[in-house]
Homo-oligomer: A and B are copies of this chain.
Amino acid sequence: MPETISIIIVEDDEAVREGLRMLINGSEGYHCQAACPSAEDALRTIPEFRPDVVLMDINLPGMNGIECVICIKNAWPEIQVMMLTVFDNTDEIFKSLTAGATGYMLKKTPPAKLLEAISELVNGGSPMSGEIARKVVQTFARPVKHPLPESNLTAREEEILSYLSKGFLYKEIAAELFISIETVRTHIRKIYQKLQVRTRTEALLRCMK
């Protein structure tokens, strides 16, 4: 968390690019290190500056913004990339997130909100324009739910089993659930008893039947 956030802009439209640069450099705590008109240019420029944040347009001449994000996150996973684009095209949203972008704002966002979003990004958040966030969230929504399959495990045990089967370490489960590792072990012992298994892998295979 630097006191001044260093930023690189990737945007082919000169007016937008310079507008953003002026906004950023005119704001306390934000510094635009470079403003690139193409993805290729950005990939040459980034190693020189190592910015905290990259603002990325999608429609670019040559390599597009999403491919550029893949390159950036491959080489410098610590850099936070925020997509900044005109449309809320569903496909582009998910391709961007898959590529490793952690923010997605529309260009119509007011300047103050944009700066706030950048700040949120470096503070571990994932700023998204409202309609974007809604689309992302709705990919999880299931129209109806089927009642849980018959099992003698308690709700807590089921919960812990689900972490177990995702490969979490005991201490990771403990941290996630805010309980002691001893409690995790106790639960797992009971789960193993009930499932008649002796190891994590057997339990996993059992619940995949």
A interface residues, Cβ below 8 angstroms from B? 70, 73-74, 87, 89-91, 94, 97-100, 102, 120, 123-131, 133-134, 136-138, 140-142, 144-145, 159, 162-163, 165-167, 169, 176-178, 199-202, 204-205
Contacts and interface: CB of A to CB of B under 8 A. Distances in A.
A126 B120 contact: no
A144 B201 contact: no
A91 B138 contact: no
B167 A202 contact: yes
22 contacts: A87-B178, A91-B162, A94-B140, A97-B137, A98-B140, A98-B142, A99-B145, A100-B141, A102-B134, A102-B137, A102-B138, A123-B130, A124-B131, A125-B130, A125-B131, A126-B128, A126-B134, A126-B138, A127-B130, A128-B137, A201-B201, A204-B204
Contacts of A131: 124-125
A133 B130 contact: no
Interface of A, helix, strand, loop or mixed by DSSP: helix
Contact of A125 (B102, B125, B133, B200): B133
The 5 nearest A-B residue pairs measured at CB: A125-B130, A126-B133, A97-B140, A167-B201, A126-B137
A201 B142 CA distance: 24
A134 B125 contact: yes
A192 to B, nearest CB: 12
A130 B130 CA distance: 13
Contacts of A74: 144-145
A64 to B, nearest CB: 9
Contacts of A145: 70, 74, 98-99
